[in-house]
Amino acid sequence: MTEDADADAETAADLAERVREGDLRLYELEEHADAATAAAARRELLAAETAADLDAIGSYTFDAADAEANIENMVGAAQVPMGVVGPVPVDGEAASGDEYLPLATTEGALVASVNRGCAAIRAGGGATARVLKNAMTRAPVFRVRDVGEASEVASWVRANVPALREAAEATTSHGELRDVTPYVVGDNVFLRFAYDTKDAMGMNMATIATEEACDVVEAETPASLVALSGNLCSDKKPAAVNSVEGRGRTVAADVVIPADTVESVLKTTPAAIAEANTRKNLVGSAKAGSLGFNAHAANTVAAAFLATGQDAAQVVEGSNAITTADVREVETEDGTQEALYASITLASLEVGTVGGGTKLPTQAEALDVLGVRGGGDPAGSNADALAEVIATGALAGELSLLGALASSHLASAHEELGR
C-alpha cells in the first residue's frame, strides 16, 4: 500500500493522535482526509482534551466539503432555532405581496414580538418599502508627502474616475464602480470606492476591484498605498460615515395604521407610541451619543442574517437605523380617523443572495421561503427584495416593542412567555 493510500485510510482517531503527537496541525487535516473525517478528528481531539460532549456539534445535514469556503478548522455546526414571521404585505419595488421572514435566534419572545408587529402592519393594509441606495464601499489609505501632494492626488482621482472604473470592473463580470470620493487628512489620502455589487453582498468583490484600481493610482500619482482598507469604508464598526452616506443597501419601510388597529393589536394609542419613540429612540439615543436611533432593530437584522446566511458581523452596520413615529389624520369610510405613521430607515444594510453563507443548505432554504435564492432578474433584484423584507420585519419589531413600552406590557410579556 502506498503512503497516500495509508493516509486515505486514516481514521479520525488516527488523525487526532497525530495532532496530539505534533505530527500534524489542526489546519492540515484536510490534506490527509476528507472534510468530514477531518472535522471528526478535531471533535475527537477536543473531546479528549476538554471532556466536552460534541455529539450535537457533530450532527449537521450538509456535506462538510461544501463549507470549506466558509470556515477553517471545522468541527461541526452551530444550530440556532429558527422561526418565521408573517405573512406581512410588502409593497416594494423588488418585493411585492405577502412575505414570510425566517428568523434564527436564541432570544425568547423576539419572533413573537416581530410577529405581533407584522399583524399590526397587516391589519393596517401593509407596509411600503424601498431600497433608496445601493453602494458597497472599500476605502484604501495612501501616503503622500504633504497636503499639497494630497490635493494633487485628490484632484487627479476626481478627474480620472473613468480610468479607475475600467481597472476595477476588469476584475468582475457583475460589479460596477459608481463613484470614488477622496478624503484628505494631512499626509493621508483616503479614497472611498462605491460599487453596485448586484445580488452579492459584495465585500470581496469590492476589495479585489479596488486593489486593481489602487495600482492605477500608484502608477499615475505620487501616492503610495499603505492599506487596502483604511477604515473609512467602514466595515463591521459603528461609523457616522455609513449613517450619512450609506453602505450596502440603504432601505426604508413605513406604514400607516388606524388608531383602532393600534389599540386592538398593540394595546395602546398612536399618540403614546409617537411619544415613546420621540423620548426613547430620538432623545434618549441622542443623549447616549448613539449612531442608531431605534428601539431594537439589531434584533430583527441579526436574526434575519443568521437565517439567510449573511455576514453576522455586519449587523453592526445593519442596525444603523432611525425609527420615526407620529400621529396623522386619515380618511376612512367612517370619516376622518386618527392613525399612526411609523417608519424605519436602515442606512447600511449589507445583504446578498449569492455567495458566502447563502450557499449553505439551511440558509438557502430560508432564502427559498422568501423566493430570493441566487441571482435575480434583473441582477440585484433578489438582494433588493431581501433588503425590503428585512426592513419591513425590523419595522414590525419596532412597532411591537414601542407598543409594549407605551402600554407598560414589556416585562409582563417576557414573564408570560417564560423568557
- Whether residue 77 is predicted with pLDDT greater than 80 in this model: the reply is yes
CA dist., res. 265 & res. 41, Å (int): 53
pLDDT at 419: 54
pLDDT band (50, 70, 90) for residue 330:
confident
| CA distance readout (Å), 235 to 13, 147, 230, 347, 390 | 41, 27, 10, 13, 20
How confident is the model over 266-279, as a mean pLDDT?
97
For the ranges 5-14, 206-215, 296-305, which has the lowest average pLDDT? Answer: 5-14
Catalytic: 311? yes
Catalytic residue among 311, 317, 384, 388: 311
Convert the pLDDT of each residue in 94-138 to its tens digit.
999 999 999 999 999 999 999 999 999 999 999 999 999 999 999
Catalytic: 414? yes
In this prediction the pTM is: 0.93
CA dist., res. 278 & res. 4, Å (int): 68
Say whether 253 sits in a helix, a strand or coil: strand
For the ranges 165-179, 257-271, 363-377, 398-412, which has the lowest average pLDDT? Answer: 398-412
| CA distance readout (Å), 209 to 15, 195, 338 | 40, 9, 52
406 compared with 6, residue with greater pLDDT: 406
pLDDT at 416: 55
Whether 216 contacts 164, CB under 8 Å: yes
Whether 325 contacts 273, CB under 8 Å: yes
222 grid coordinates: 505620487
- Whether residue 8 is predicted with pLDDT greater than 80 in this model: the reply is no
Convert the pLDDT of each residue in 224-237 to its tens digit.
999 999 999 999 99
For the ranges 40-44, 76-80, 101-105, 404-408, which has the lowest average pLDDT? Answer: 404-408
- Whether residue 266 is predicted with pLDDT greater than 60 in this model: the reply is yes
| CA distance readout (Å), 393 to 200, 217, 250, 319 | 21, 42, 15, 12
Catalytic: 34? no
How confident is the model over 17-23, as a mean pLDDT?
94
pLDDT at 335: 79
Of the candidates 189, 178, 123, the residue with the CA atom closest to the CA atom of residue 153 = 189
Convert the pLDDT of each residue in 343-389 to its tens digit.
999 999 999 999 999 999 999 999 999 999 999 999 999 999 999 99
- Whether residue 2 is predicted with pLDDT greater than 60 in this model: the reply is no
Whether 216 contacts 167, CB under 8 Å: yes
Catalytic residue among 17, 30, 34, 107: 107
CA dist., res. 269 & res. 338, Å (int): 9
